[in-house]
Amino acid sequence: MNRSHLTRYAWLSIAAAVATIALKGIAYTVTGSVGLLSDALESLVNLAGAVLALSMLSLAATPPDEDHAYGHSKAEYFSSGVEGMLILLAAGSIGYAAIGRLLEPRPIESIGIGLAVSVLASAINLGVALVLLRAARKHQSASLEANAQHLFTDVWTSAGVLAAVGLVALSGWQVLDPVIALLVAANITRTGVRIMRKSALGLLDTALPAQELAKVKAAIEGELPPGARYHALRTRQSGARNFVSLHVLVPGEWTVARGHKLLERIEAAVRAAVENVSVFTHLEAIGDKTSYEDVELDREK
């Protein structure tokens, strides 16, 4: 499964981050809005996240080798985990800047120009985020999904900033600028925590989702003939790759060839039911008591 083509999405994210940093920097310079400053700071974090995503996608696409027989797909979880931390860093930076502005209020200037530039930057981020999210779901990429969600937090930040600047312009209440910036920081903190939790679950070899697990069980049971059954079914996810292992129990009088053919049918059925899956099967005699001693992860002593 060659995934090297996914790096082009990371390059797209890098280009978007560079463009939005420039635009939001201009917007802050002409307005002096702390909200727009927080927006620009988050785009800097977006750039760091996009560069990290590029490096981890490149590593994840590396073919299996002698030391990594199962490939390097888990590298994407490191990328998405760090992306979550970067989102939290952005939230902290926004909160710090907002509190400073609450303590020392300062009027916003050139609102019209600032809003126009910020809207353009937000449109770029939104478009790229939608492209990345679509690619992430299609290719089951944790790194691209985290990068897309990071860009969506940037869009939410921009929306909050635009609302704040607009309300300040209409009401003259300068305090609305930092207050809304604080609310935006709280919102994107939630996103950062969710991304980090998902990355941690991936690194911990989380089982397939219930819907996928049901497909696996249906595929196995659809191939089992009378007198045969299975146990010790285990599943896990590693990036875009899924793993399924199970023991198949057959009557002791079966020949090795007959048992092997059954395992081949079961493995083919699971591969047809679930994408990007590696299947490992083990044949056991249904009447042998030792067949039931290794149902758990560690064999009984």
Position 34 scores a pLDDT of 62
Give the pLDDT band of residue 110 (cuts 50, 70, 90): low
Is 300 within a domain?
Answer: no
Distance, CA of 6 to CA of 50 (rounded, Å)? 12
> Could you tell me if 276 and 184 lie in one domain?
no
Q: Which domain holds residue 270?
A: 210-292
Model pTM score: 0.59
80 or 176: whose pLDDT is higher? Answer: 80
267 or 3: whose pLDDT is higher? Answer: 267
> Could you tell me if 96 and 227 lie in one domain?
no
Could you say which of 175, 203, 231 is where a domain stops?
Answer: 203
* Mean local confidence (pLDDT), 72-96: 78
> Could you tell me if 218 and 190 lie in one domain?
no
Residue 264: count other Cβ atoms within 10 Å of its Cβ.
12
Q: Which of 87-101, 128-142, 270-284 has the lowest mean pLDDT?
A: 87-101
Q: What is the mean pLDDT of the chain?
A: 80
Per-residue DSSP letters for 96-141? HHHHHHHHS------HHHHHHHHHHHHHHHHHHHHHHHHHHHHHT-
Is 298 within a domain?
Answer: no
65 or 216: whose pLDDT is higher? Answer: 216
Is 57 within a domain?
Answer: yes
* Mean local confidence (pLDDT), 266-275: 93
E strand segments, 107-213: none
Give the pLDDT band of residue 80 (cuts 50, 70, 90): confident
Is 110 within a domain?
Answer: yes
CATH of the domain at 168: 1.20.1510.10
Distance, CA of 154 to CA of 181 (rounded, Å)? 12
Could you say which of 177, 203, 229 is where a domain stops?
Answer: 203
> Could you tell me if 185 and 226 lie in one domain?
no
